[in-house]
Amino acid sequence: MSLTRRGLLAATAASAVPMSARAQRPTLKIGVLTDLAGVYQDIVGPLAVECTRLAIADFGVSAKGFDVEIVTADHQNKPDIGASLARQWYDRDGVDIIMEGGSSAVALAVAAVAKDKNKAYINSGGATSDLTGTMCNAQTLHWTYDTYMLAKSTGGAMVKSGGDSWFFITADYAFGHALTRDVGSFVEQGGGKVLGKVATPFPGTTDFSAFLLQAQASGAKVIGLANAGADTINCIKQAREFGIKATLGGLLVFLSDVHSLGLEVCNGLVLTESFYWDLNDRTRAFSERLKAKSPARRAGMAQAGCYSSALHYLKVANDVGVGKFKAAGGADVIEMLKKMPTDDDVFGAGSIRPDGRVIHPSYLFQVKKPSESKGPWDYYKLLSTTPTDQAFRPIADGRCPLIKA
Amino acid sequence: MFGFTRQQGIAFLVMFAAVVIAPFFLYPVFLMKVLCFALFACAYNLLIGYVGLGSFGHAAFFGMGGYIAAYTAKKWGFNPEIAIITGAGAGAVLGAVFGWLSIRRQGIYFAMITLALSQMVYFFCNQAPFTGGEDGIQQVPRGNLFGLISLQSDMTMYVVVSVVFLFGFLLIHRIVHSPFGQVLKAIRENEPRATSLGYRTNDYKLIVFILSAGIAGLAGGTKSLVFGIATLTDVANAMSGEVILMTLLGGMGTIFGPVLGAIMIGSIENYLAQLGAWFAVTQGVIFVLCIMFFRRGLLGELAARLKLSL
């Protein structure tokens, strides 16, 4: 191929056009840091990324005069990897906000980086209520749920629905004991009784039969599963095999767990989520739209939370003006996010508290019997709703350093 | 100097230059992580490469060093240099206990004892209140070096980490090339013979075990200050596996090999994070290829081909 002056000029012009076009349109860069291949990949993972994309599509960014770019990475559930990816994104790759951010330890680590670099961070999948408690900071929001909300709804609301005597199967580490303590206190506040608890070695316990039989023998109406992940799944399976009559109260169980275990095994299980696809017209509409991107899977609350948070972020960015928004530090961005009430198809109307807690109602569900289920993903029936103002820990009890008493 | 041969001297200068230049081209936090892992791998190599003791529990020293450094820096307000040294001390103390028990056996039995002990440390860290359980110790301040120089900037921290790394590296090199190191190699080659020559081999093994554990603790303590966190990842079994992988990939029993191994594993972990599951697959494939084609590790094969001792 011979080089001609005309060709060269044309090539220069052609390459200059998209560049100048890009220069005119400011771009927000959202980093979705999640577990793409590990134990939480079904709770957040690739579908959380899809939910974020859907938020961008729904918001209609292209018509608003700016662009949004998404980058994703896998924190492999290792806090040090999560923290170093977060640093890299903020420092070098020009990421404006990190979303999702996985398990509790990773979430706390990323929140610390966000504070350090004064950049914005919105967590959806992490459970620890410390994120808006003793470890809270001005750069971080906690969007979807936390351990307090789960304990309050599963413990408190369950007692009201008749499950007033409890026995706990507790994973023997800090998280398991904290969960047992929190749920136990809600049960007792509601007028229920805790008949006993048994600690199971963690990690590595696979045979829960002795513990389940002990729970059965206590005569409790509800067996609280103060554990997570594989432990919970093994408990549920083995309870079914032993024909345990008591209701199982799952404290960290998600829609995807129910989906992979099947209704045959799970039916009767009681659990708490802040979102379910078949809850109302808006959640159904959201799930219909998501179906185009993910035909096989329905979003659980942590994934739907990514949609909700991304949509709110874009709304505020558009309101404030993207240029100004991009130039602001993390604390200022989060402050602007806090000012606007949230409203979307996932959680309905809600708001963000000064301590970074995003509040909306929580729902106590029971898993349907196979005969009650009308089709794929028709898993839950609603037992009770905890209204927005009661669903989360009162702001004064969190000991968040941002809140001056 | 330091008992380097000419080639090793050149290789060291190349490495030194790379350490100095790298932060201007690559992301310093990533480099700090690689340096911490490189030091950890060098410490492991001291034990497996030069004495032939294959420990499966080195994460215990690395992780405990990290926890102690993080705890003392955060709760007791230790200066970073004191916190790191305390971390190294914690690694060494733990190493003394582990070593005292485990060097009485050899081969697979030795490996199993270290594995069992490190699992005990893992469960201890999972339960003990001071470690923060599965959330770990978070928001550890980097503090001020000697109470004067703030380490908040990544570049300043990088200088500290590279000094720690070079110090550890030279220390290991010095150990290996001292008369003490000659005895270690003699033990590796033929322990009964070394005994018959009048060396108390168990004393030598215990001392080098403590040294290795102490340097691993040094690396762990430095890492926890770099990232401001100390978590269960660092004491977990997988970390013991990772350091074995680094050492084997780079070249066991070569002084520079573990550094190369750490760079490779660190880069894979960092740059393939976007690929999700492919990260583990890639790591596995590289390991299998290395075992099949580079049995002495990358640098080990290179050194053998060029007839150099690196």
Q: A362, A356, A363: which is closest to A382 by C-alpha? A: A363
Residues of chain A with C-beta less than 8 angstroms from the C-beta of B274: 71-74
Say whether pLDDT at A124 is over 60: yes
What confidence tier does A19 reach under pLDDT thresholds 50, 70, 90? very low
Q: Please tell me the predicted confidence (pLDDT) of residue B277.
A: 67
Q: Average of pLDDT values for B196-213? A: 93
Residues of chain A with C-beta less than 8 angstroms from the C-beta of B276: 36-37, 41, 46, 74
Between B132, B154, B228, which is nearest A112 by CB? Answer: B228
Q: Please tell me the predicted confidence (pLDDT) of residue A7.
A: 58
Residues of chain B with C-beta less than 8 angstroms from the C-beta of A80: 33, 223, 227, 229, 231, 233-234
Q: Average of pLDDT values for B251-280? A: 82
Q: Average of pLDDT values for B172-189? A: 91
Say whether pLDDT at B1 is over 60: no
Say whether pLDDT at A22 is over 60: no
Most confident of A17-31, B213-227, B283-297: B213-227
Q: Please tell me the predicted confidence (pLDDT) of residue B17.
A: 92
Q: Average of pLDDT values for B36-49? A: 94
What is the percent of chain A with per-residue pLDDT over 90, rounded to a whole number? 47
Q: A227, A179, A180, A175: which is closest to A206 by C-alpha? A: A227
Query: ∠A157-A162-A168 over CA atoms, to 5°?
Result: 75
Beta bridge partners of A271: A365
d(CA B22, CA B30): 11
pTM summary value = 0.83
Say whether pLDDT at B33 is over 50: yes
Q: A94, A142, A101, A82: which is closest to A119 by C-alpha? A: A94
Compute CA distances A35 → A139, A291, A297, whole Å: 22, 21, 17
What is the percent of chain A with per-residue pLDDT over 70, rounded to a whole number? 94
- DSSP of B189-238: H-HHHHHHTT--HHHHHHHHHHHHHHHHHHHHHHHHHHHT-B-GGGTSHH
Most confident of A12-21, A62-71, B36-45: B36-45
Compute CA distances A112 → A309, B70, B191, whole Å: 20, 14, 50
d(CA A29, CA A27): 6
What is the percent of chain B with per-residue pLDDT over 90, rounded to a whole number? 49
CATH class of B6-18+27-306: mainly alpha
What confidence tier does A2 reach under pLDDT thresholds 50, 70, 90? low
- A73/B274 Cβ within 8 A: yes
Q: Please tell me the predicted confidence (pLDDT) of residue B271.
A: 76
- B30/A105 Cβ within 8 A: no
What confidence tier does B305 reach under pLDDT thresholds 50, 70, 90? confident
Compute CA distances A371 → A383, B134, B190, whole Å: 18, 40, 72
Angle between helices A79-91 and B201-227 (to 10 degrees): 40
Say whether pLDDT at B270 is over 80: no
Q: Which residue has the higher pLDDT, A25 or A368?
A: A368
pLDDT digits (tens, 9 = 90+) for A344-357: 999 998 999 999 99
Beta bridge partners of B230: B137
User: 């992780």: which residue's tokens?
Assistant: B63
Report CA B75 to chain centroid distance, whole Å.
26
Q: Average of pLDDT values for A201-227? A: 89
Q: Please tell me the predicted confidence (pLDDT) of residue A20.
A: 45
Q: Does B74 touch chain A (CB under 8 A)?
A: no
By the 8 A CB rule, do A73 and B274 touch?
A: yes
First to last CA, chain A: 75
Using the 8-state DSSP alphabet, how is residue B56 labeled?
S
Q: A134, A87, A138, A82: which is closest to A105 by C-alpha? A: A82
Most confident of B4-13, B85-94, B254-263: B85-94
Q: Average of pLDDT values for A67-79? A: 88
Q: Please tell me the predicted confidence (pLDDT) of residue B67.
A: 95
- Domains annotated for chain A, with CATH where assigned, are 14-145+280-360 (3.40.50.2300), 148-273+362-391 (3.40.50.2300)
By the 8 A CB rule, do B172 and B219 touch?
A: no
d(CA B105, CA A120): 53
Residues of chain A with C-beta less than 8 angstroms from the C-beta of B275: 74
- Sheet containing strand A342-344, edge to edge, reads A342-344, A348-352, A358-359
By the 8 A CB rule, do B65 and B91 touch?
A: yes
Q: Does B297 touch chain A (CB under 8 A)?
A: no
Neighbours of B153 (CB within 10 A): 12
Q: Average of pLDDT values for B254-262? A: 91
What confidence tier does A18 reach under pLDDT thresholds 50, 70, 90? very low
Q: Average of pLDDT values for A333-350? A: 91
Interface test with chain A among B27, B227, B237, by most A beta carbons within 10 Å: B227
Per residue in A63-74, is it b (16+ CB within 10 Å) or e — as a string? eeebebebbbbb
What confidence tier does A177 reach under pLDDT thresholds 50, 70, 90? confident
3-state secondary structure of A340: coil
Q: Please tell me the predicted confidence (pLDDT) of residue A21.
A: 45
Interface TM-score (ipTM) > 0.90 = no
Q: Does B220 touch chain A (CB under 8 A)?
A: no
What confidence tier does B158 reach under pLDDT thresholds 50, 70, 90? very high
Q: Does B132 touch chain A (CB under 8 A)?
A: yes
Handedness of CA A121, A123, A124, A129 (dihedral sign): negative
- DSSP of A254-314: -HHHHHHH-HHHHTT-EEEES--TTSSHHHHHHHHHHHHH-SS----HHHHHHHHHHHHHH
Q: Average of pLDDT values for A6-15? A: 54
Residues of chain A with C-beta less than 8 angstroms from the C-beta of B229: 79-80, 83, 108-109, 112
Q: What are A's interface residues with B at a Cβ cutoff of 8 A?
A: 36-37, 41, 46, 71-76, 78-81, 83-85, 87-88, 91-92, 104-105, 108-109, 112-113, 115-116, 128, 130, 135, 172-175, 202-203
Q: Does B267 touch chain A (CB under 8 A)?
A: no
Beta bridge partners of A214: none
Compute CA distances B154 → B32, B162, B176, whole Å: 9, 12, 32
Q: Does B266 touch chain A (CB under 8 A)?
A: no
Residues of chain A with C-beta less than 8 angstroms from the C-beta of B29: 84, 87-88, 91
Mean pLDDT estimate for chain A: 87
